[in-house]
Amino acid sequence: MQTTGKPSGPGRQVWENLSIVFRSRVATAGLVIILFWILVAIFAPILAPHDPLAQDSSAINQAPSRQYLLGADNLGRDILSRLIYGSRTILLLAPLSVLCSVAVGTLLGLIGGYFGGLIDEVVMRILDAIMAFPTILLYLIIIAAIGPSALNVVLAITFVGAPGVARLVRSLTLDIRTRDYIRAAETRGENPFYIMFLEILPNARGPIIIDSMLRVGYAIFSIGTLGFLGLGLPPPTPDWGGMISSARKFIWTNPLGVLWPALAISSLVVALNLFADGLREESTRYQ
Amino acid sequence: MAKYILRRLVFMLLTMLLVSIAVFLISEAAPGDVARHILGQFASPEQVELMREQLGLTQPLYVRYADWLIGNDWRLTRLVDMPLKFTIIAGKTEPQWYAVAPDGTLRQWRLKKDEGLIEYRFAQDGTQELATVTDWQLDEEGEEIFWGVDTANHVVLWRKEGARRQFGAAAGRAMTEGSGERYYPIRKGLLRGDPGISTRTGRPVGPTIVRRMRNSFTLAAIAFAFIMPIALLLGLLAGLREGSPLDRSVSLFSLITTSVPEFASGVFLILIFAFWLELLPGAAVFVDDIAPWQDPKLLVLPVLTLTLVEIGYVARMTRASMIEVMNAPYIRTAFLKGLPYRRVIFKHAVRNALMAPITVIMLHVNWLIGGIVVVESVFGYPGLGMYMLDSALFKDINAIEAGAMVMVALAVGTQLVADVIYTFLNPRIRYT
């Protein structure tokens, strides 16, 4: 047992990473905003002054008042409460879809990189084709075909994101495959899946984790865009992108109705990017 | 090199073919019915069934795909027993399909409620003759039938007795009085230059998509004319003095502007310039079919939004490339051998530093297409993106397919162009 003040083991690694973040003011600012939204999402039921779905026909498109602090939307729903609950939607869906795309991408990348040959060629050509064409087109076709819902948003983002992950994991696998411990495992006669998941994957986890963190920002961006295009969550669910798209029609009577959700999603995406960028910059500087 | 380009072109066509098949399959698997979409909630099941047939939806998937790709007029000619011709005749506004009779007249047929099947004969000079059909043919069961071309580009089988007497919609537009037994929409096929008819608007997809593309290209071209010089300059200056206050502020600014989603920055700009300052229109709704550059005021905010979103990306690329070049040994050599600062920067650094961003930007076109779709949607700008979005929400398969083909050709094509340009900029790279 260590008696020094600093935590040991994995805790220490986390601490070192965090101290890198705090060295950069920009990354710290990003982290603070992210934490703010996470807390808002967790304590949504306590923080929200109203039911996000409750409609008040006397408050349609109302400007901010003491009752509705940020105003009310076109159905007389409290914008503040919808913003607060909207953070839950996006903070749940974004990591979930990143997790799915990382899982699918990792599997494909491991298989392609480890087995090589024809399997690799086929998998990579298909993924190249998917990556070659416009993301927005994929979203449009997928969502238009299967209809907007939370599950479909996750599916669409997984589909679009997985090829990138697969490429990364494949290149990592190609490198790790040549190491001695892999050859040792192969000589022992281990199952290829044992080697892929218990020998290669743990040694490739660093870049994969960093890549996934960058992907969360992009996923939030995409979920917002899908919501705005009417391809996101079905209407009553509070969803920032969807809120902007419905408030956009009433921008002349209720300009604040569109401003708040736009600020919310911008702050979250910017914060995530500031955090990731600061982390990257500081960690390369001190290497 | 030529071989490489050829191979890439083949790959591009293959990708387009695969995408078109995938889009067909996905929209086939999708729930919801186009015919129901067109006719609305209150159509009877019989009407929907008739509509499906008129749209050609009752045929097997592979037949429909083949029709879409290479057309079916050559196949349907056999049924009508006359050559089919897609042409515009004097006095009509749109080209249509006609059967060419042996005497050279163009013919169409129409079933009228009390008069039976009427034959329209159009001579080359535009004169028109009407006649009642008398030459019915006998089918295997001895019933009188007639294969002809109707006025809405279908090959139709009419039956003399017991014709289905109900109202149906032809191509989503007109209501017809009676209907035939079987319908085959006549198509020329994409490969022969006909992307079909939009089920959403009932109009040919081709001309619409060309007009929409023109609008989108205008938007993108103007935005790029702003983005490139500003972003390259900012990137070069920032990269030249890594860590300076200018570098820090350019990096922060570009990080923020690229992170903010297009719809949010669009909304901010509308609020600032259209709502609070009342300087500019907040939407780009075009009256009539005027070209976008005829009313530049409408273009300002969409262009500004696109510029804001893209400028940071290009600036960051340029900055990174400039930093890399400035740390390269040959730059140090140039300094050490006593070349003037100005000369080192302009002759050695900038030229090499611009290489990467220019090609990377070409690869960025995928992202740009997405940005344009969103910007068009924010401002109601009638471009290709809006057309695709509306079509996708309506399940307008012909329009989706045509738009998808354009987008894929653009995305894959620009990548090819980027690779080729790169070999010219960097002679060390050779593709074989």
Query: pLDDT tens digits for B350-384?
Result: 888 887 777 777 767 777 888 888 888 888 888 88
d(CA B86, CA A280) in angstroms, rounded, equals 61
CA closest to A217 among chain B residues: B259
Domain ranges of chain A: 22-43+79-285
d(CA B132, CA B138) in angstroms, rounded, equals 17
**What pLDDT score does A140 carry?**
80
Contact B374 A245 (CB under 8 A): no
Q: Which residues of B214-228 are buried (b: 16+ CB within 10 A; e: fewer)?
A: ebbebbbebbbebbb
Whole-prediction pTM value? 0.79
Q: What are residue B97's DSSP bridge partners?
A: B86
**What pLDDT score does B169 carry?**
47
ipTM: 0.81
d(CA B161, CA B159) in angstroms, rounded, equals 6
d(CA B420, CA B413) in angstroms, rounded, equals 11
**What pLDDT score does B51 carry?**
80
For A269, which of B22, B260, B393 is closest by C-beta distance? Answer: B260
CA distances from A222 to A240, B233, B267 (A): 12, 30, 17
Residues 6 or more apart whose CB falls under 8 angstroms from that of A185 comprise: A194, A195, A199
Cβ-contact B38, B169 below 8 angstroms: yes
Contact B263 A228 (CB under 8 A): yes
Contact A137 B408 (CB under 8 A): yes
Residues in chain A within 8 Å Cβ distance of B31: 146-147
Residues in chain B within 8 Å Cβ distance of A132: 15, 408, 411-412, 415
Query: What structural domains does chain B harbor?
Result: 32-192 (no CATH), 205-425 (1.10.3720.10)
Residues in chain B within 8 Å Cβ distance of A146: 30-31
Q: Which two tokens stand for residue B366?
A: 């995928």
Cβ-contact B379, A120 below 8 angstroms: no
d(CA B259, CA B14) in angstroms, rounded, equals 34
Contact B411 A134 (CB under 8 A): yes
CA closest to A223 among chain B residues: B261
Contact A145 B26 (CB under 8 A): yes
CATH 3.40.50.300 applies to domain A22-43+79-285: no
Q: Per-residue pLDDT tens for A125-150?
A: 888 777 777 788 888 877 777 777 88
* Chain A nearest C-alpha distance from B86 (Å): 31
In order along its 432 residues, chain B shows pLDDT tens digits of 788 888 888 888 888 888 888 888 877 776 667 777 777 777 777 777 788 888 877 788 888 888 888 888 888 888 888 888 888 877 777 778 888 888 878 888 887 766 777 888 888 777 778 877 777 777 777 777 888 888 878 888 877 765 544 444 444 444 445 567 778 888 888 888 788 888 788 788 888 888 888 888 888 888 888 888 898 888 888 888 887 888 888 888 888 888 888 888 888 888 888 878 877 776 666 555 666 666 777 788 888 888 888 888 888 888 888 888 888 888 888 888 888 888 888 888 888 888 777 777 776 777 788 888 888 888 888 888 888 888 887 778 888 888 888 888 888 888 788 777 777 776 776 655
Neighbours of A70 (CB within 10 A): 19
**What pLDDT score does B206 carry?**
85
A→B contacts (Cβ < 8 Å), by residue, are 26, 129, 132-137, 140-147, 217, 221, 224-225, 228-230, 241, 244-245, 248, 251-252, 255, 258-259, 262-263, 265-266, 269-270, 272-274, 277
What is the C-alpha R_g of chain A?
A: 22
d(CA B396, CA B400) in angstroms, rounded, equals 6
For A224, which of B32, B261, B367 is closest by C-beta distance? Answer: B261
CA distances from B291 to B287, B303, B382 (A): 10, 15, 10
Mutation for A interface: B21, B199, B249, B267, most A CBs within 10 A = B267
C-alpha angle with apex B201: B197 to B203, nearest 5 degrees? 40
Cβ-contact B120, B104 below 8 angstroms: no
The beta strand positions in B71-150, using DSSP E, are 84-87, 96-100, 106-112, 116-122, 128-132, 137-138, 144-149
* Chain A nearest C-alpha distance from B6 (Å): 18
Mutation for A interface: B12, B15, B259, most A CBs within 10 A = B259
Cβ-contact B5, B416 below 8 angstroms: yes
pLDDT average per 10 residues of sequence, chain A (287 residues): 50 68 79 90 80 72 72 76 86 91 91 86 82 79 75 86 89 86 86 85 82 85 86 79 82 81 89 81 57
For A262, which of B259, B264, B410 is closest by C-beta distance? Answer: B264
